[in-house]
Amino acid sequence: MSGRIQAEYLYESVPYEYEAFELPFPAFPSQSGSVVLRADEKTEAIGVVTESITYSSEIDGEITQAHWTIAASFTPLRDWIATL
């Protein structure tokens, strides 16, 4: 799968809190832990898939669903990773 990062923010999923990317597609359950790579540099890992979110609402009998993926960002660890 490929897509653009929709948003970057501090994500809270009790008991965790971490810098995260929001990706515009659903991740299958087996993709948790998958590495997220930069589109322009396929060898540079920038994060890891942590959750797949599904949201649904119903208005006047019409059901709307949205799906997206949360990935933990490696950005806070960049300096440490560079030393490995």
Mean pLDDT across the chain, nearest whole number? 89
Strand partners, 21: 8, 71
Does some domain include residue 51?
yes
In a domain, 72, yes or no: yes
Q: How many domains does the chain have?
A: 1
User: How far is Cα 4 from Cα 37, in angstroms, rounded to an integer?
Assistant: 11
Q: Which two tokens stand for residue 52?
A: 């797949």
Question: Is residue 84, in this structure, part of any structural domain at all?
Answer: no
What is the greatest pairwise CA distance in the chain? Answer: 56
Share of the chain above pLDDT 90, in %: 57
Pick 64 or 78 by higher pLDDT: 64
What is the domain range of residue 70? 7-77
Q: Is the pLDDT of residue 2 over 80?
A: no
Q: What pLDDT digit, counting tens, does each position of 52-76 carry?
A: 999 999 999 999 999 999 999 998 8
Give the span between the Cα atoms of 50 and 34, in whole angstroms: 8
Please name which of 38, 40, 41, 6 lies closest in space to residue 21, comparing C-alpha atoms.
6
2 domain-assigned: no
Is residue 43 in some structural domain? yes
